[in-house]
């Protein structure tokens, strides 16, 4: 009998895909079978099968992501029925599904008094629940997860074995009889009720979630928030919030796009404009708050019992990764928490919450973590036969990337690699992703900076395993990431990249960060840049904005103003260091320019309590500028030494003398920076040297700067980040693409 063999590639395992196909087959009267294998899902079907491929694509399960459906005709003996048969093959050519927020069906069950899972904190099905955070190894089955120690009761086993049930082969399946257990310390017979009561009394709770512990308190209680900040030594960094959509709407006015993003199965933290109804301590000096919906049954039950929004910030010691183990939490979080809401399902690997925002130009990912990894991204045309490559990213916001078979696995946010536990997590991620992706690289890519721990790690691996090592300049990698995300083809024309960030080593030995690069995957040239200034004190210049302001004001002939602004600072010592070039590398960093402007406005002048505080405060101020006029943007003329910012600082001083508001000054700075770089980059497109402009680097997390730059570019073709972070969290993707492109261009080196 004639039939079809249907190969489905993508995120199609652990999402209920086989029972979905089984249900379609029953409805069509089709016979045959469906199975999982290393390449995805394979179907052999006989009978009235003509519509089956289209139905698969149109009605696929909510957590699935189909990359390709390949169909071929087959001839054989028609089976009597349609069956789900055992998986075959070894290896990993398909995706592992990310963790997903509680689906509506499971939520209804935990809220229905007559359901056997009513009030159960670990309900899940093939449409939701933990995946990557409980997975120890492939293949993805219960024995390879942290659910292995919970044998299924007869009722769960029956659901697990029934193709018509939405829990068919749901590996984390559980119920109160056989699954994980919830408790609170100090002990109480009703942990959810006790946790809610403690939160109402202003206490701080450590709560075990999917990818780690959170510290929670009443988001409406200024005293509780101040207590959390004091205990955690976190004076100003914004705190994440959790609440139902109705609660969020009491404190913000999310758009349809923002509601859709909040409600996505990835359940990210979404930055929303604040209406000022919560205590200032939630996010001091900021105009946006980070909100997320409850994404596990435990969160839903707790929020419902508490009856209001909660602060839900990472449970960790300052600088360390999020705590994931119960004993670790008791040891490290005891100084912060008054009680612990715990459970006995182990977390196989820590995952922070993802952070995103909606801009006038679409979504923006600030931190790629839970809900997104280990999902993959398609590679641009021309990379189909690229060699397997691994890239190790940068030093800050570390994340690594693997490419294989036309797909890129961009790993999760890890943090600052100087921290010992983060370094351990980085090494674990390297092992995990290699095993999960069955990855055997031929090429290793690292940042050009030889002292980055990730660079040393990659270099050592390449030497030990005889792999090709490719060193990639930091800002070239940013450019390639933006190009790759937008599927710019390997043989496409050159792109003008506006790359604005904090720091990256340039091939000339100076520190770059405010650049226009003209290039493609294979190479680049530096077309324009900010005028350089010394970073006096090296890394301390990142922490103390006044140092950057002093250097810029001295260059502008405004030393007398610097003396007035920073009268208590050791100015003479810094000026001597700058003159002699002692620990004062020259830098074109846009991030440090933000710091310098902020310090001139008395914002975080002496020091920042967290990375980006000065720049984020400047953005928040600029968004409040009354009736901003683009014609009054600060001018930064192009000179042989780069875009000269001296006139801007003179204009800022004059505006302050004229009682111009700091909100307006902050806006004029944003607009001037945007117009300066946009004009120069657009000219490269206009004269035919480039076909588009790409915007990348951590400064483009700033939604106002992004918007103003895009407005200034007008109808010039533009590439922006919507699926990968513009910051260093996306850097490894660009490194991997550049390394693969070089390897393809010189195959004799392979």
| For range 345-355, the mean pLDDT | 95
Phi, psi of 11 (to 5 degrees): -90, 85
To which residue do tokens 């020091």 refer?
607
Query: In which residue ranges of the chain is CATH 3.30.70.100 found?
Result: 2-84
> 3-class DSSP state for residue 546?
helix
Class of domain 533-719: alpha beta
pLDDT tens digits along 624-682: 999 899 899 999 999 999 999 999 999 999 999 999 999 999 999 999 999 999 999 99
Mean residue pLDDT across the chain: 95
Q: Give the pLDDT confidence score for residue 442 in this predicted structure.
A: 97
Give the active site residue among 36, 227, 326, 548: 36
> What is the longest distance spanned by two Cα atoms in the chain?
91
- Residue 750 has a pLDDT of 57
Distance CA 621, CA 97 (A): 40
In the numeric block, the tokens 């536990």 are attached to 421
Give the right CATH number for 182-343 from 3.10.450.630, 3.90.870.30, 3.30.565.10, 3.90.79.10: 3.90.870.30
User: Start-end ranges of CATH 3.30.420.40 in the chain?
Assistant: 533-719
**Gap between the terminal Cα atoms of the chain:** 47
Query: Does residue 255 have a pLDDT over 60?
Result: yes
Half-sphere exposure of 748 (CA within 13 A, CB side): 0
Spatial distance between the Cα atoms of 401 and 498, rounded to a whole number of angstroms: 23
| Of the options 2.70.70.10, 3.40.50.880, 3.40.50.720, 3.30.420.360, the CATH number for the domain spanning 376-486+725-744 | 3.30.420.360
SS3 per-residue string spanning 17-37: HHHHHHHHHHHHCCEEEEEEE
Spatial contact of 491 and 747, defined as CB atoms under 8 Å apart:
no
More confident residue, 86 or 411: 411
User: What is the DSSP code (8-state) at residue 278?
Assistant: S
pLDDT digits (tens, 9 = 90+) for 179-226: 999 999 999 999 999 999 999 999 999 999 999 999 999 999 999 999
If we measure between CA atoms, which residue out of 322, 296, 301 comes closest to residue 172?
296
Helix (H, G, I), strand (E, B) or coil at 343: strand
195 contacts: CB under 8 Å, gap ≥ 6: 184, 205, 207, 302, 305, 306, 339, 341
Tens of pLDDT along 688-715?
999 999 999 999 999 999 999 999 999 9
Q: How far is CA 41 from the centre of its chain?
A: 28
Express as a percent the part of the chain with pLDDT over 70.
99
pLDDT digits 0-9 by tens, 29-85: 999 999 988 888 999 999 999 999 999 999 999 999 898 999 999 998 889 999 999
Please give the pLDDT value at position 321. Answer: 87
Quickly tell me which residue has 């360390």 as its tokens: 320
**Is 18 a known active-site residue?**
yes
Tokens of 323: 């705590």
Domain with CATH 3.30.420.360 in the chain: 376-486+725-744
Taking the C-alpha atoms of residue 243 and residue 234, their distance in angstroms, rounded to an integer, is 22
Sheet of strand 401-404, all strands in order from the earlier edge strand to the far edge = 377-378, 407-410, 401-404, 389-391, 443-447, 468-472
Residue 421 pLDDT:
87
Given a cut of 90, is residue 349 above it in pLDDT? no
Q: Is the pLDDT of residue 92 over 70?
A: no
How is residue 101 written in tokens? Answer: 């927020």
Q: What is the DSSP letter of 99?
A: P
Rounded Cα distance, 262 and 256, in Å: 10
Q: Write out pLDDT tens, residues 270-322.
A: 999 999 999 999 999 999 999 999 999 999 999 999 999 999 999 998 778 89
User: Which residue has better confidence, 497 or 137?
Assistant: 497
pTM of the model: 0.94
**Cis status of the peptide bond prior to 658, with omega within 30 of 0:** no
Identify the DSSP state of 706. H
Its CATH architecture, for the domain 2-84, is 2-Layer Sandwich (3.30)
Mean pLDDT calculated for residue range 99-110: 97
What is the model's pLDDT at position 89? 67
Position 42 scores a pLDDT of: 95
Among 5, 7, 9, 18, the active-site one is 18
b/e burial code for range 529-547 (CB count within 10 A of at least 16 → b): bbbbbbbbbbeebbbbbbb
């Amino acid at each position: 009998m004639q039939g079809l063999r249907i190969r489905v590639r993508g995120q199609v395992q652990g999402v209920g895909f086989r029972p979905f196909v089984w249900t379609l087959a029953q409805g069509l009267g089709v016979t045959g079978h469906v199975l999982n294998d290393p390449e995805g899902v394979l179907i052999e079907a006989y009978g009235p099968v003509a519509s089956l491929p289209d139905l698969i694509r149109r009605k696929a399960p909510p957590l699935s992501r189909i990359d390709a459906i390949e169909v071929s005709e087959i001839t054989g003996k028609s089976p009597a029925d349609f069956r789900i048969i055992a998986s075959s093959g070894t290896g990993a050519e398909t995706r592992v599904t990310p963790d997903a927020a509680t689906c509506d069906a499971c939520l209804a069950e935990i809220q229905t008094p007559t359901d056997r899972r009513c009030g159960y904190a670990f309900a899940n099905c093939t449409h939701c629940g933990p995946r990557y955070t409980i997975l120890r190894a492939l293949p993805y089955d219960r024995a390879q997860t942290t659910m292995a120690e919970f044998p299924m009761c007869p009722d769960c086993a029956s659901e697990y074995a029934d193709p018509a049930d939405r829990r068919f082969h749901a590996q984390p399946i559980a119920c109160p009889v056989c699954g994980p257990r919830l408790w609170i310390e100090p002990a109480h017979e009703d942990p959810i009720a006790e946790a809610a009561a403690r939160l109402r009394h202003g206490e701080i709770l450590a709560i075990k979630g999917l990818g780690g512990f959170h510290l929670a308190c009443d988001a409406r209680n200024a005293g509780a928030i101040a207590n959390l900040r004091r205990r955690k030594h976190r004076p100003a960094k914004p705190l994440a919030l959790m609440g139902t959509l109705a609660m969020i709407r009491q404190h913000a006015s999310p758009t349809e796009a923002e509601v859709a993003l909040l409600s996505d199965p990835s359940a990210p933290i979404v930055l929303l404009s604040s209406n000022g109804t919560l205590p200032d301590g939630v996010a001091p000096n900021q105009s946006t708050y980070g909100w997320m919906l409850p994404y596990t049954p435990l969160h839903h039950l707790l929020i419902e019992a508490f009856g209001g929004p909660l602060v839900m910030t990472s449970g960790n010691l300052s600088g360390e990764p999020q705590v994931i183990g119960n004993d670790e939490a008791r040891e490290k979080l005891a100084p912060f928490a008054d009680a612990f809401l715990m459970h006995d399902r182990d977390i196989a690997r820590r995952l922070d919450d993802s952070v995103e925002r909606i801009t006038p130009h679409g979504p923006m990912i600030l931190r790629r973590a839970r809900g997104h990894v280990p999902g993959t991204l398609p590679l641009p045309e021309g990379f189909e036969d690229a060699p397997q490559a691994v890239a190790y990213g940068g030093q800050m916001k570390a994340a690594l990337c693997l490419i294989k078979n036309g797909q890129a696995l961009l790993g999760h946010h890890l943090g600052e690699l100087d921290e010992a536990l983060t370094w351990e997590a980085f090494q674990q991620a390297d092992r995990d992703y290699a095993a999960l992706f069955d990855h055997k690289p031929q090429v290793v890519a690292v940042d050009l900076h030889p002292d980055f721990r990730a660079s040393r790690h990659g270099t050592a691996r390449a030497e030990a395993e005889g792999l090709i090592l490719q060193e990639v300049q930091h800002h070239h990698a940013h450019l390639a990431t933006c190009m790759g995300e937008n599927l710019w083809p390997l043989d496409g024309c050159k792109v003008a990249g506006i790359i604005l960030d904090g720091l990256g080593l340039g091939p000339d030995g100076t520190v770059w960060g405010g650049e226009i690069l003209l290039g493609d995957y294979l190479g680049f040239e530096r077309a324009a840049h900010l005028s350089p200034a010394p970073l006096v004190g090296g890394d301390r210049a990142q922490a103390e904005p006044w140092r950057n302001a002093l250097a810029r004001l001295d260059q502008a002939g405004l030393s007398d103003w610097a003396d007035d602004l920073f009268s208590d600072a050791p100015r003479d010592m810094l000026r001597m260091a700058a003159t002699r070039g002692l620990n004062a590398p020259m830098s074109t960093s846009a991030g440090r320019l933000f710091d310098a402007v902020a310090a001139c406005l008395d914002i975080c002048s002496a020091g920042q309590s967290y990375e980006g505080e000065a720049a984020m405060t400047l953005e928040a101020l600029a968004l409040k500028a009354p009736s901003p006029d683009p014609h009054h943007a600060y001018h930064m003329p192009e000179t042989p030494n780069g875009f000269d910012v001296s006139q801007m600082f003179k204009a800022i001083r004059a505006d302050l003398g004229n009682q111009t508001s700091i909100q307006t000054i902050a806006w004029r700075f944003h607009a001037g920076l945007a117009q300066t770089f946009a004009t120069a980059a657009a000219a490269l497109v206009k004269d035919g040297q480039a076909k588009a402009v790409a915007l990348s680097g951590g400064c483009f997390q700033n939604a106002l700067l992004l918007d103003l730059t895009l407005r200034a570019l007008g109808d010039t073709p533009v590439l922006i980040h919507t699926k990968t972070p513009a910051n260093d969290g996306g850097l490894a993707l660009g490194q991997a693409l550049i390394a693969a492109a070089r390897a393809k261009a010189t195959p004799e080196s392979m």
